[in-house]
Amino acid sequence: MNTSVLLERSEYLLEKIYQATDDPSPSLLFDATELAECREQSPVWLDCARNPRVLEFMRQEPKQWPGLILESSVSTDTLLEHLRHILLVRFGEQRKGVLCYCNPTTASYFFAADAAQSLALWLGPVSRLSWYGGTWADQAEDKERWLSVDNPHAAQWRTMPGAAPARLSQQQEQALQRQRREYFLYQWWKRQRDLSFTQASEYLEQGMDLGFVQAEELQRFLDLRLCYAHHDLPRLASHTSNEDHLELLRRHWQDKESLT
């Protein structure tokens, strides 16, 4: 079994790698893909047999070396071919995008979304995938930790040259949507004091249930809801605009406040 790492790109990553080892022989994941022109932002793959110190540093200081640890029995070329193949994904009707799966936060959503049988398509020849991180909720609650996914189907995996980009399942699409939603909430929550992320999540759900889906509208709702956290939500007429909804909420809670 061979161990390798796929490191998320940062400004000084290559410098850190060459400080850790004399001849790392890194491979850029974006090379030989449609993303080759963006190779300066490419994640970096390293063979740990050649770079044991990088793996050691990653395990000791995982926040300083964000990325994935991969265990696989296939050749380097075969592994890289698969890792490059799952970079580009299909979703929706005819949409295509880049899956930043080596980001530990994205991995915490994406690789937890489906059962092992479904994940086998994505893990391919990787028998175990490990990373240090968690969801945005985990990070808000200081619950980041080592996570891993096992692939019992790795030995049966076979490469399929020329295969079309893999399609995200409904569960995976929902997981990535949840990631974006919780990232938005996390950014708002960080600016507050004495508010749990769980309570902030409840406010976000309330806002979305009322029809606020645009970022600016949601932020205004969250700010307003926090100011009147001790008051219940009123019923709102469905035919009014979101701008009117916000004004009605403000007036309702101000009236409630004046009576207390």
pLDDT, tens digit, 9 for 90 and up, residues 140-179: 999 999 999 999 999 999 887 777 888 899 999 999 999 9
What is the C-alpha to C-alpha distance for residues 218 and 207, in angstroms, rounded to an integer? 6
Half-sphere exposure of 139 (CA within 13 A, CB side): 19
What is the C-alpha to C-alpha distance for residues 147 and 2, in angstroms, rounded to an integer? 19
Residues of the chain short of pLDDT 50, as ranges, are none
| pLDDT value of residue 259 | 63
DSSP string, 61-87: STTTS-EEEEEESS-HHHHHHHHHHTT
Q: What is the pTM of this model?
A: 0.91
